[in-house]
Chain A
Amino acid sequence: MRKVYSKIESISGNVISVKATDVQYGELARVSTTYGDTLAEVIKLDGDLVSMQVFAGGRGISTGDEVRFLGNPMRVSFSENLQGRIFDGSGKPRDNGPELTENLITIGGPSVNPAKRIIPRNMIRTGIPMIDLFNTLVESQKLPIFSVSGEPYNQLLSRIAMQAEVDLIILGGMGLKYDDYLFFKEELENGGAMSRTIMFVHTASDPVVESLMVPDISLAVAEKFALQGKKVLVLLTDMTNFADAMKEIAITQEQVPSNRGYPGDLYSQLASRYEKAVDFEGSGSITILGVTTMPGDDVTHPVPDNTGYITEGQYYLKNGRIEPFGSLSRLKQQVNDKTRDDHRAIMDGMIKLYAAYKSSVEKKSMGFNMSQWDEKLLKYGKQFEKGMMDLSVNIPLEKALDLGWEILASCFEKDETGLKTDLINQYWPEGK
């Protein structure tokens, strides 16, 4: 029988302290308050003073409330029964289904030994040319969608989820607007994907500490399924909310703040989540797509900045389109040499010309005369945006490549493309 502590020494924000012995770092405690029970996690040990962050927040906790240590870190139930279910950030059901308690697994486990990883090698087709052709999504990749509030990032996320060829989708929502939560639920239900989906959702009005648990719970469950051979796609939205929750708690704890008030270990914290993306040798895989909203569209903000250095590229969503500049899939070269031999050349060649188009647009807007070359680029840019960038375009990669050649041939002479002559001879559309 574990001891009950009934004297809380201090309450500061979501952090409470009690005097206790024989407590493990990272251990869970149950706090019984007049408003019900809540969990708390040990975040600091200083002699016999134990500090914990309370999942339901500090509000309403009294110094006389009872604290009982559980002797184990945060765990979540794992079984097939999770599929089709929705939970909150502390693992409690959000739907009307039963609470799951069997087969508990610890969350936030160690990372995979790089020597046990295999080179990612399978393309995940999405039907979106800006992804498939220009920045191919690869199984086991970790990619954020960089965007700003107001952009349809959750729509893009759900569209990728619906169209991507995977076995299981795990949606982790952090600080999600209730409407967005319902949007995901409806989309996945209507698309018939709910049965292969598990949702862990923390909404904006839930206690902030629970938001911190969502990525770890989602990824711990994903890992178990992947080890059973499943291809799992984890969608995390929004990682900036997750980082902000971390900031809030670090500051209440009076930690020395680092950049713009975020805790000094922001990078390590984000990395230990994103690095869970993996392709297990001889087993399944985890692919992570996250949303990172950039306050003020500022990519130097600590959250997108640190994220960019951890993830294997990013999709920039701006003005409702995936931008060719800034968007990057670092793993694309693992797969795009096996698709079609013109894939890489078209991928780079078209973007080079699109960059030239942008500078022609700039010149035009400043009132300069357009040269013949500028006119060609202007024609090209419009066709590129309509045929490739529009998010409503839904065509397989091969069609997109053919379309690329069509667009080039309708705008340029062969040697204006900067592509190798051999490829041009092979793919240039007949009669152009």
Chain B
Amino acid sequence: MKSVGKIIGVNGNMVTVEVTGTVSMNEVGYILVDDKKLKSEVIRILGNTCQMQVFEMTKGIRIGDSVEFSDELLAVELGPGLLKQVYDGLQNPLPELAEAAGFFLERGIYLKALDREVEWDFTPIAKVGDSVEKADTLGSVPEGPFVHQIMVPFNYLKKYSVKSIKEAGKYKVDDVIAVLEDEKGNTFDVKMYFEWPVKRAIDCYSERLKPTKPMVTKVRLVDTFLPVALGGTYCIPGPFGAGKTVLQQVTSKNAEVDIVIVAACGERAGEVVETLKEFPELIDPKTGNSLMERTVIICNTSSMPVASREASVYTAVTIAEYYRQMGLNVLLLADSTSRWAQAMREMSGRLEEIPGEEAFPAYLESVIAGFYERAGIVRLKDGREGSVTIGGTVSPAGGNFEEPVTQATLKVVGAFHGLSRERSDARKYPAIDPMDSWSKYPSVLNVDAVNYARKILFRGGEIEAMMKVVGEEGTALSDFTIYLKSDFLDAVYLQQNSFDPVDAAVIVDRQKHIFAYILEIMGAEFSFEDKDEARIFFNALRQAFIDYNGVEWKTDEFYKREKAMLETLNEKKVGLDSTAAELLKVGV
């Protein structure tokens, strides 16, 4: 029996409702205003009244307006047709919404997340009489480059036997493709899609594994120095303008995963639209098809209602977990989790909860932890592996990493890519600070070689700081050379031009190839007369290396530039440090 209610208070996007019947926490209800239904979620219950956050603007609501409860939690539809979609935080398909409503997001219009008219080419896998349980495969349909498995809905908690299953053929998502029977003889119609409440993690796997395989991003600084693992988590905090969004966009295009889910929560529409319009045009190097075929975009811009912003990351992670159940590697990029946390703060304020640090709610940490913990690499019941990797940006005020959202995030992620204002001011992109950042995951390169280079980078930083006190003339030539080496490493390896078609994405093989030269240069002994000569040499070497970075891998031009770079190097190189020589022998 679904409950009903009456509005007794309105304050911003929160309403107070007097309820007849039972109501559950996070249940969805609809407020009837004029001829529209406004979607809302129960966020507090007190006796026979409850408070609901409205996912829409609340203008025009009156005391006494009716509320219809749905008896369901906020849920998303899972089934074939999710890929290529652009949804808002509540899984409304935005392009279809534009067809229905025009330029503006008129409230009260909700469309089905999955197209009901598309016919899918179904191939049964389970047979009549088979014993099945949740997440077992009943059949499959092709979806873009993937085999989309039609599974027993995850909320089917018992054992069932397959009573009937459709033959191979074309079906719509609403068609019943199988009938299951439980031990008591009750039958259940299974369609190609089902609903799942977004705030509950999907855990139909046999075990969670330790993330150790690298997730290649083709960003040198990340893959080599601050790697991310499949099924791992990482965060990118940084002040505005330091390049978080560009870094996310580059990763979404180039990361070596099956599926990318981009969740824009509270982002600028101008930037989201770039992804929206650009992705269908871009070609996925793996499949030769549009990049959009392996992408889902959850798009909740900053001006969309706060409650739907709060829901958007859950919608995204639920879809990610669903595809993980098919044995795929999914990357979820959330931009920005601070805006999501702010949405929580806003709702908490409306509920007049006692505020915690910086007015964030006291449960901020556990909610953030709960979200990131939904990542993971898992072994499915049939032995295959699938993963959800989560990369979230954080936007702390003024780039101050001490604030609660950054700190709560740092506690639960496996890698930290902190962007610095100084680096972005100096146009050093990606502006990830190599000193402050860290990763607990293994590099794609030999760890000793990476550490050798890292030491020079650190030492160079120390010398630079020292030079600020004692001046260049007070610095020994040998120290000055180390400083120039670290500056060189920064300029030609850590920095990467995201607008250069070649330099924007560097495959691991090429990273290994050029890192060997980097290592050689880091370990080289030089004969310089004085500092000016050293500087002139490194300027020339940097120039040669930048030109080398900008040419296509393994072309004639590539080898030509490589030769030119080596000639420049050998003009002044007189020896090689024994540790570097040893590392080069082993290979990077």
Contacts and interface: CB of A to CB of B under 8 A. Distances in A.
B362 to A, nearest CB: 13
A371 to B, nearest CB: 5
B221 interface: no
Interface string B72-98: 000000000000001000000011011
Contact of A141 (B60, B62, B97, B270): B270
B107 interface: yes
Given A44-B10, A141-B270, A114 B276 contact: yes
B346 A265 contact: yes
Interface string B546-581: 110010000000000000000000000000000000
Nearest to B270: A312
Interface stretch (A19-27, A82-90, A155-163, A179-187): A19-27
Interface stretch (B122-130, B211-219, B302-310, B370-378): B302-310
B427 A111 contact: no
B342 interface: yes
B240 interface: yes
B145 interface: no
Contact of A420 (B62, B95, B400, B550): B550
Interface in B97-127: 97-98, 101-107
Interface stretch (A59-67, A190-198, A233-241, A268-276): A268-276
Interface string B263-291: 00010111111101110000000000000
A418 interface: yes
A333 B271 CA distance: 11
Q: Is the interface of B mostly helix, strand, loop or mixed?
A: mixed
A113 B350 contact: no
Contacts of A21: 63-64
A392 B543 CA distance: 35
B108 to A, nearest CB: 10
A413 B540 CA distance: 10
B45 to A, nearest CB: 18
A299 B400 CA distance: 11
A169 to B, nearest CB: 21
B209 interface: no
Contacts of A348: 427
Contact of A45 (B10, B97, B426): B10
B380 interface: no
Interface in A264-318: 264-265, 267-268, 271-272, 274-278, 280, 298-300, 302, 305, 308-314
B529 interface: no
Interface size bracket, A side: 35 or more
A264 B359 contact: yes
A267 B60 contact: no
A218 B303 CA distance: 17
Interface stretch (A95-103, A202-210, A322-330, A402-410): A322-330
A372 B536 CA distance: 11
A119 B273 CA distance: 6
Interface stretch (A7-15, A170-178, A253-261): A253-261
Interface stretch (A31-39, A362-370, A383-391, A393-401): A362-370
B301 A368 contact: no
Contacts of B350: 264
Given A112-B104, A256-B355, A275-B269, A369 B301 contact: no
Contacts of B348: 264
A368 B271 contact: no
Nearest to B33: A24
A3 interface: no
Contacts of A140: 270
Interface string B216-241: 00000000000000000000000111
Interface stretch (B131-139, B161-169, B193-201, B468-476): B468-476
A420 B547 contact: yes
B47 interface: no
A374 to B, nearest CB: 8
Contact of A118 (B277, B345, B427, B471): B277
A421 to B, nearest CB: 6
B428 to A, nearest CB: 8
Contacts of A23: 62-63
Given A111-B303, A258-B359, A369-B472, A46 B9 contact: yes
B11 A44 contact: yes
Interface of A: 21-27, 44-48, 73, 108-120, 140-142, 227, 255-259, 263-265, 267-268, 271-272, 274-278, 280, 298-300, 302, 305, 308-314, 325-326, 328, 330-331, 333-334, 337, 344, 348, 351-352, 355-356, 359, 362-363, 366, 368-369, 371-374, 413, 415-416, 418, 420-421
Given A259-B358, A259-B359, 17 more contacts: A26-B58, A45-B62, A46-B16, A115-B94, A119-B273, A256-B359, A265-B12, A267-B346, A275-B301, A305-B240, A305-B397, A310-B268, A330-B268, A333-B499, A369-B471, A415-B539, A421-B547
14 contacts: A26-B59, A46-B9, A110-B57, A113-B98, A114-B273, A120-B270, A256-B349, A264-B345, A268-B303, A275-B301, A299-B398, A368-B471, A369-B472, A371-B532
Nearest 8 CB-CB pairings of A with B: A300-B398, A368-B471, A264-B349, A275-B303, A271-B302, A26-B59, A308-B240, A115-B94
